[in-house]
Amino acid sequence: MAKKSAGLLMYRRRGTSVEVFLVHPGGPFWARKDLAAWTMPKGEFSDEEQPLAAAIREFNEETGFDVNQLKRSDFLELGTTKQAGGKSVFAWAVEGDCDPALLMSNLCEIEWPPRSGRKIEIPEADRGAWFPIQDAFERIFQGQTVFLQRLSEKLGIAE
């Protein structure tokens, strides 16, 4: 069965511009990567969990910022896309604000170096930042640019 994940793209308005909140993956592989290395907070979910609930859970886990108090009607559905590896990604956007300096990500275990058998614990996200939506196209993983395009369309932003 193909894997699936769900994510949440937070955005805020600054005057006439829109910014999106992205996180940078933790760990040694991503440490020196910047362009096309950021992501919306997202993660895998099972058939027993609803995709939007998974997106909210993942956002909370990877950032430490709680969006559970928002009404489900506050979330804009951005649809799905299939990544090169076959994983389906479901996404929503929500207007909000958070301070990247306060980001507190959960930890996960990875094998590092690859195929070494050695396990290390890393934060899923090592930092977060707000980017003007036009700049975010250069920062976000290539497979997620479709969500920036869809958000731009929903908000009436010219690229």
Residues spanned by the domain of 46: 4-155
**Total number of domains constituting the chain:** 1
Going from the first residue of the chain to its last (159 residues), give the mean pLDDT of each consecutive group of 10, the final group possibly shorter.
91 94 95 94 95 96 93 94 91 97 95 92 96 97 96 87
Q: What is the CATH number of the domain that holds 54?
A: 3.90.79.10
Pairing of strands 88-95, 4-14: parallel
Give yes or no for a cis peptide into 100 (omega within 30° of 0).
no
Residue 159, pLDDT score: 58
Q: Residue 151 — φ and ψ, nearest 5°?
A: -65, -45
pLDDT in the model for residue 84 = 82
pLDDT at 1: 63
